[in-house]
Structure 1
Amino acid sequence: MKTLFELKQDMTTVGQQLQKVEAQLAEKAVDPKATMDDIQALQQSKKDLQMRFDVIKEQHDQLEAEQKAKFKDKLGKIEDPKQKVVSAKAELIRATMRGKAVSTDILQALGDNNTGGGKFLPKTVANDIIMEPLAKNPLREISTVTNITNLELPKLSYTLDDDDFIADTETAKELKLTGDTVSFGRYKFKVFAGISETVLNGTDTNLVQHVENALRSGIAAKEKKVAFATSPKTGEEHMSFYSTQNNIKKITGENLYKAIKAAISDLHEDYRENAKIVMTFADYSEIIELLANGNATLYTAQPEQILGKPVIFADGAVKPIVGDFSYSHFNYDIGELFERDKDIKTGIEQFVVTAWFDHQIKLKSAFRIAEVVATP
């Protein structure tokens, strides 16, 4: 017996043939050169194709109804609400990998409002994948992350009726130059989660964990890539702390320790109070080597005790970034798509999520980049 995916493919093939014959029939009907035999032949072909399509559709609808009933029965036997969501997610993944539409039962079990189905990733799944803290992206601990369509925000969290309330002259200049609001764009990227047949047919829990972990890792990698890019892709320049477009102020020192301390001091007090330092562990180790000078106690001290502000380690931070990271904001536009693909080289099926996001540095004046002065 054919699978639901195979029946869907058959419906598509026969449906396309039927459309082609209908178009030919319409052309022949108004063509004075066409004979009645030609028209009758096309009419018979259309009738045959329509019958074939109806038979396949009946088989498809019957099998789909049976699978929906099985899923409903399966959910009814699960008492734990969390496990119900896991099972629904697993069915969503399997439906995608088998090329069938996501049923309303699955969407409802996931608590999604879009009960019309379609290709859109249910909001519950999108939030689980996008909104959970990602250990592999250290910026997630300190930046703002939202999931809002057409997001537009004020650059400052409050205003007064007198513009002179902004004490930081750099901020005042920036707002005058770039405006007092920031609008988030939609920049597309894809994340691929490879799924073997064994995993696909395994337990719901293992399947969901495997796919979500892969997607989270992919999303984290993309976030880090755009935020720390030294040569950003065209159109993504505004997302990087190091881009010339953002032109974040650079503070220099004869060594990294002095450069970071000077960068903290150079921040206006509005940003200095909540400032954090994002840097590589290698750079931090270099600072400890410089300061220790045989004093072993420095190696056990917390980074904040050494540098005066909390430190977040990120290998992509090729130059230490100092600032208030609440002004670093990742937003995911609602409307993720999911589909399947196949790696021809390995034979592994891919669960693919297409997402749209943006990273905005809402106020450049809230940050500084620490650099070492080159010795002559």
Structure 2
Amino acid sequence: MELFDLKANLNTVGTQLATVEKEIMNKAADPNASIEDVRALKQKKDDLKERMDILQNQHDSLEREQKAKIQASLEKAQAGVSAGLSSNDPEVQKISAKAGFIRAAVRKEVPAQEVRAVLGDNNGTGGEKLLPKTVSQELLHEPFVTNPLRSVSTYTNVTNLEIPKVDFSLDDDDFIQDTQTAKELEVEGSVVTFGRRKFKVKAKISETILAATDTDLVSTVERALQSGLAAKEKKVSFAVTPKTGEEEMSFYGAGIKEVPGDSTYKAIKAAIADLAEDFRDNAKVMMRYSDYLEMIETLANGSATLYNAQPEQIIGKPVVFSDAAVKPIVGDFRYSHFNYDPAIQYESDKDISTGENLFVLTAWFDHKIKLKSAFRIASVVTAP
């Protein structure tokens, strides 16, 4: 019998025992109840108590056995980490070090010196809960498909980052020909200052995953953390109604100019044409795939030819699909800039309700649209 079934049976018998004990008290206090009924209930109570003792012994024995197996697996996994760190293969060393780091965090231990040496200890002691350099760099810089902006936007991780909106200048103050950009620089200044907005990502780790191979453990945790980072980036960047204080992080809340059109196709073409030449040359279109299919259906008018064409052939600019782009965004996405503070922290805890271990990452980041004039939002306006 499985441990889960034993727990369920124990709960059932325990409930029955409590009910019988209550009945005995009620019968004993009732002068009209016969003593034979009380004795019968006492016998039933003794039988249930004996059954419960048998089930409890089986439960405790099986639980000790499973805990011993998990402990043996953990010790085996730890031995695997040590073996991996002694390997000559850098990739094997890195995976083993990551596994050792995660297990140490969950057990509330300081990672071994060998682990910190391979991953790059941020402070040299391991006493502060800062994510190792190797881990943080791979989490932040490896492209992740769930956030399409990662393939087109700019990413950095610099503390208190300040950068110029325009990368060069000339002696002639009027060298910027795009009047909208010139006005934006005059009103908002020529420097972008990035803030620190805190958020947490929680990777859930079961006991079986914790005791699994280094590769399975590391891939499970990294996939969860990468997904969380990408989801947070996408959420704030495409928020239609941003939270207070996060308006400048969203394409739809930062005040980007909207260009109207009576269809998706015409609105996108008008938005592209409305961009200044320098931005138009490097422009891309971010839009929902459903909007693209609807646009093709309208343009095709019963013909199958357009369905085989590449989106760039139809729109004239590369297309990046995202379901979060409720209105198509046109522009030079190099001016969409994410910056993470390098001091990403980690901690661990246990979810009491599920019994799962939590590997928690605390990060600080900001998303700035360095030049709003580098973008346009294509807005479909139906005729009244």
Class of the TM-score when normalised by the shorter of the 2 chains: 0.7 to 0.9
Q: 2:175 aligns with which of 165, 175, 178?
A: 165
SS in structure 2 of the partner of residue 339 of structure 1 = strand
Corresponding position: 1:299 with 2:307: yes
Question: Of the candidates 232, 239, 243, which is equivalent to residue 229 of structure 1?
Answer: 239
Cα distance change, pair 206–151 in 1 and its aligned pair in 2 (3 A):
same
Alpha-carbon distance in structure 1 between the residues aligned to 2:340 and 2:105: 22
The answer as to whether partners of 1:104 and 1:115 remain within 8 angstroms in 2 is no
1:350 is the counterpart of 2:340: no
Give distance in 2, aligned partners of 1:258 and 1:341: 53
Alignment correspondent of 2:260: 252
Other structure's SS at 2:355 match: coil
Query: Which runs of 5 or more residues in structure 2 are unaligned?
Result: 1-74
Matching residue of 1:95: 104
CA contact (8 A) 1:242 1:248 kept: yes
Counterpart contact for 1:341–1:350, Cα < 8 Å: yes
SS in 2 for 1:238: helix
Contact 1:277 1:320 in 2 (8 A): yes
Instruction: Say whether the 8 Å CA contact 2:81–2:97 is kept in structure 1.
Output: no
Contact 2:81 2:96 survives alignment (8 Å): no
Q: Which runs of 5+ in 1 are unaligned?
A: 1-65
C-alpha deviations, 1:322-347, integer Å up to 9, x for none? Answer: 00000000111111111112223222
Q: Which residue of 2 aligns with 1:268?
A: 276
Q: How many residues were matched structurally?
A: 308
Find the counterpart in structure 2 of residue 137 from structure 1: 147
CA distance in 2, matches of 1:238, 1:338: 28
Alignment of 1:1-376 (within 5 A): 74-75=83-84, 77-112=86-121, 114-117=123-126, 118-243=128-253, 246-376=254-384
What is the alpha-carbon distance in structure 2 between the residues aligned to residue 162 and residue 206 of structure 1? 59
Shift of 1:70: 6.7
Structure 2 residue identity aligned to 1:159: S
Q: Distance in 1 between matches of 2:167 and 2:356?
A: 48
Provide closer, same or farther for how the CA distance between residues 73 and 249 of structure 1 changes in structure 2, counting only shifts above 3 A.
Answer: closer
Match of 1:11 in 2: none
Distance (whole Å) between structure 1 residues aligned to residue 186 and residue 112 of structure 2:
51
Shift of 1:103: 3.4
Distance in 1, Cα, partners of 2:201 & 2:81 = 30
Q: CA–CA distance in 2 between the matches of 1:251 and 1:141? A: 25
Q: CA deviation at 1:131?
A: 0.8
Amino acid of the structure 2 residue aligned with 1:355: A
Alpha-carbon distance between aligned partners in 2 of 1:263 and 1:366, rounded to the nearest angstrom: 11
Please give the alpha-carbon distance, in whole angstroms, between the structure 1 residues aligned to 2:140 and 2:98: 15
Per-residue displacement from partner, 1:31-74 (whole Å, max 9, x unpaired)?
A: xxxxxxxxxxxxxxxxxxxxxxxxxxxxxxxxxxx9xx979953
Q: Cα RMSD over matched residues?
A: 1.8
1:41 equivalent in structure 2: none
Deviation at 1:114, TM superposition (A): 2.6
CA contact (8 A) 1:72 1:105 kept: no
